[in-house]
Amino acid sequence: MRYLTDLPIADLRTAGDAIETLIDFRAYTPPGYGFLITLAGKFRDDIRDVLEMPLLEHAYRGHEVKSLDDLAAEELDHLDKAVDVLVGRFIPFMDDPELVIQLGALHEHLRAETARREAVLREEATALRTTTSRSCRRNRTGRRKSSPSASRASPPRTAWPRRSARCACLLTAAVAVLLRRQGIKAGIVRKL
């Protein structure tokens, strides 16, 4: 174990911000992680003590319990990054082995939730893409089914590019709406 006094002030502030984020989202920690918040509060107090800042009131889980599903994608990402920073950089400075164990378990839980949300988004985007492409295929010819003469007439040559571009534009807009609704970053779509 290394000591917090060995860390530069910038790293101490980073650790303090990350642990504060975890404490702020304490209502969203899954059941069984109540002791984690108490241990995180102790670690926060140790950091504040080294920084010579006044100590805050003791951290505790509280009675309010919310599901991770209630978190927006940005909030889940923010919490996941904070726990990732704590696990990745500051575990050697934590003096309580139970804090290390519970942080590791929470880190895995958050990663699993993020992966689940990305899979759901991929499935919805694929379904939307399939539905939109079927709609575009139906509308490519520009023919009307109402009269027999209209079904025999060939579409003007300029209809194809315009309609294809319109379908692509509709697909892009539909995916953007879906992403906004899910609150997930647009970078995931590039992977599809």
Spatial CA neighbour of 119 closest among 184, 29, 30, 28: 184
Same domain, yes or no, for 133 and 106?
no
d(CA 118, CA 110): 12
**Residue pLDDT, tens place only, 153-192:** 555 554 444 455 556 656 676 676 666 666 655 445 444 4
Same domain, yes or no, for 129 and 50?
no
pLDDT for position 173:
66
Same domain, yes or no, for 43 and 108?
yes
Provide the token pair at 109.
């839980």
Same domain, yes or no, for 11 and 91?
yes
**Residue pLDDT, tens place only, 5-48:** 888 999 999 999 999 999 999 888 888 777 899 999 999 999 99
Same domain, yes or no, for 98 and 161?
no
d(CA 55, CA 102): 23
If one compares 172 and 95, the residue with the highest pLDDT of the two is 95
Same domain, yes or no, for 102 and 176?
no
pTM equals 0.65
